[in-house]
Amino acid sequence: MSERPSFRPRTDRPKVVITDYDYGDVNVESEILEAVGAEVIALQAKREEDLFEVSQDCAAMMNQYARIGAAVISRMEKCEVIARYGVGVDIVDIETASERGILVTNVQDYCTEEVADHAISLWLTLVRKLPEYDRATHAGVWRWQSGQPVCRLRGRTMGVVSFGKIGRAIAERAKAFGVNVIAYDPYLPETVAARHGVRLVSKPELLAMSHYILMQAPMTPDTRHFLSDAEFAAMKKGAILVNTGRGPTVDNKALYRALTEGHLAAAGLDDPEEEPAKCADWSPCDNPIFTLPNVIVTPHVAYYSEESIRAARVTAATQVAKVLTGQQPDYPVNADALAGTTY
C-alpha cells in the first residue's frame, strides 16, 4: 500500500500525535490525516515522559522509535489507535492497549526485498573479505593474501533463524550462490519450509551445522539474547554471523568475546544490542563491538529504500485514517483481544 487513499472527513478534529520520526518532515502523513479532518502534532520524543501530556487527549498516536508503554497508555482518555511505523511492535505495550480498548496496528509487507538484499550484501562482504582488502589496498598493500583465508561458498551451509517472508527471501538469494540452506523456526510447519527447498532443524542443529548464520528474528521475551556465550561456543569455528533482525537478539558482549577469542570469523549487524535510535544519548564507545575490524555495523538501514520509506509512512498513516473514519485497518495487531469492539 503506497497510494494515498480517499476518506470521508470526520466532523470533529481528532488529534494525531507522531511521537518521533527521522524522515525530515511529516508531509506525507499530514496529507493523509488532514484529509480526514485530523490535527497532526509531530514530536521528537526520546522518553515516555515526553508523551504524558499529549497522550491525554490524542485520538491516535504513531511511533517510529519512541516507546509507548503502560505509563503513556494509562493516561490516554480518547485514543482509538496506536500505529507503529514498521513491523515490530515490541515498543508498544499491546496488553495495556488492549485492556483499554485501543487498537494497535503495524506496517507489513513493505521492506522484504530491501532487508533480504541487505542481509545478503553483509554476508557476501564478510565472506569475500572486502573490508580487509579495501583497507590493505588503501594502505598500499596489493596482495591477495591480505584477506586470507577466503573459502568457496558453494557447498557450505547457511542457517536462517526465523523463516518468515524475509527469511524466505534471504534463502532464495543465497541458494543462487550454491549454499545449502537450513532454517530454525519453531512456529513454522515443515511443509512450508519444504516448499522453499529448505529443511527445518532444531536450534542446536542449526548452530552446529552452519558456516553462516543469518538472524531475522523478531524481538520477543523468548528471543532476547537468542545468541549468547553458549550458542557461540556451539557454532563452527570460523563461522560468520549476520543479524538483520532485532539488535537485542544477539548478546553483544558474548559476541565480542567470540570474535576476539577467534571462534567466530566475523559479524555483520544492522543494529547493535542497544539500538541507538531508541537511546536519548548514545556513543559507539559504549559498545566494544565498534572497535573490532571484523565487524560491520549499519545504522538499522536494512529496511531502507526510498520506495520502502514512503510505503511505511503512507501505510502507517492510512491505518490511523481508517480507524478514525470507522473503517477496518489493514494490519491490526491486537484485533482478537478487541473482538466485538467497533472501530
Q: Rounded to the nearest 5 degrees, what angle is found at the Cα of 84, between the Cα atoms of 164 and 307? A: 70
| 46 within domain boundaries | yes
Q: Examine the domain organization and report whether 257 and 176 are in the same domain.
A: yes
What is the grid cell recorded at 132? 580487509
Which of 206-210, 227-231, 339-343 comes out lowest in average pLDDT? 339-343
Q: Examine the domain organization and report whether 141 and 266 are in the same domain.
A: yes
Q: Examine the domain organization and report whether 94 and 174 are in the same domain.
A: no
Q: Examine the domain organization and report whether 285 and 151 are in the same domain.
A: yes
Distance, CA of 207 to CA of 160 (rounded, Å): 10
**pLDDT tens-digit profile of 306-324?**
999 999 999 999 999 999 9
Q: Examine the domain organization and report whether 121 and 236 are in the same domain.
A: yes
Residue 5 has pLDDT above 70, yes or no: no
| 331 within domain boundaries | no
Q: Examine the domain organization and report whether 174 and 157 are in the same domain.
A: yes
Q: Examine the domain organization and report whether 121 and 199 are in the same domain.
A: yes
Residue 340 has pLDDT above 70, yes or no: no
Distance, CA of 87 to CA of 191 (rounded, Å): 25
| 83 within domain boundaries | yes
**pLDDT tens-digit profile of 152-179?**
999 999 999 999 999 999 999 999 999 9
Residue 200 has pLDDT above 80, yes or no: yes
φ, ψ of residue 332 to 5 degrees: the values are -75, 140
| 338 within domain boundaries | no
What is the grid cell recorded at 284? 559507539
Residue type, 186: P
**pLDDT tens-digit profile of 237-248?**
999 999 999 999
**pLDDT tens-digit profile of 253-278?**
999 999 999 999 999 999 999 999 88
| 226 within domain boundaries | yes
Residue 53 has pLDDT above 50, yes or no: yes
CA distances from 256 to 141, 155, 288 (A): 28, 28, 7
Residue 343 has pLDDT above 50, yes or no: no
Q: Rounded to the nearest 5 degrees, what angle is found at the Cα of 256, between the Cα atoms of 280 and 123? A: 90
Task: Report, in angstroms and rounded to the nearest whole number, the Rg of the chain calculated over CA atoms.
Answer: 22
In the chain, what are the helix, strand and coil shares in percent, each to the nearest 5?
35, 15, 50
Q: Examine the domain organization and report whether 279 and 140 are in the same domain.
A: yes
What percent of the chain stands above pLDDT 70?
96
pLDDT at 8: 62
Look up the domain containing 98 and give its range.
15-110+305-324
User: Strand 295-297 to strand 264-269: parallel, antiparallel, or no bridges (unpaired)?
Assistant: parallel
Based on the structure, what is the number of domains in the chain?
Answer: 2
Q: Examine the domain organization and report whether 219 and 288 are in the same domain.
A: yes
- Find all residues with CB under 8 Å of 117, minimum gap 6, and list them: 173
| 89 within domain boundaries | yes
What is the grid cell recorded at 160? 536462517
Q: Examine the domain organization and report whether 217 and 161 are in the same domain.
A: yes
pLDDT at 341: 55
Q: Which residues are catalytic?
A: 246, 275, 300
**pLDDT band per the 50, 70, 90 thresholds, residue 9:** low
pLDDT at 6: 62
Q: Examine the domain organization and report whether 211 and 290 are in the same domain.
A: yes
Residue 7 has pLDDT above 70, yes or no: no
- Find all residues with CB under 8 Å of 12, minimum gap 6, and list them: 37
Asked if 70 and 50 touch (Cβ cutoff 8 Å), the reply is no
Return mean pLDDT, the chain.
95
| 9 within domain boundaries | no
φ, ψ of residue 259 to 5 degrees: the values are -75, -40
| 6 within domain boundaries | no
In DSSP terms, which residues pair with 215 in a beta bridge? 161, 243
Distance, CA of 91 to CA of 80 (rounded, Å): 18
Residue 3 has pLDDT above 60, yes or no: no
Task: Give the CATH number of the domain where residue 100 resides.
Answer: 3.40.50.720
Q: Examine the domain organization and report whether 153 and 280 are in the same domain.
A: yes
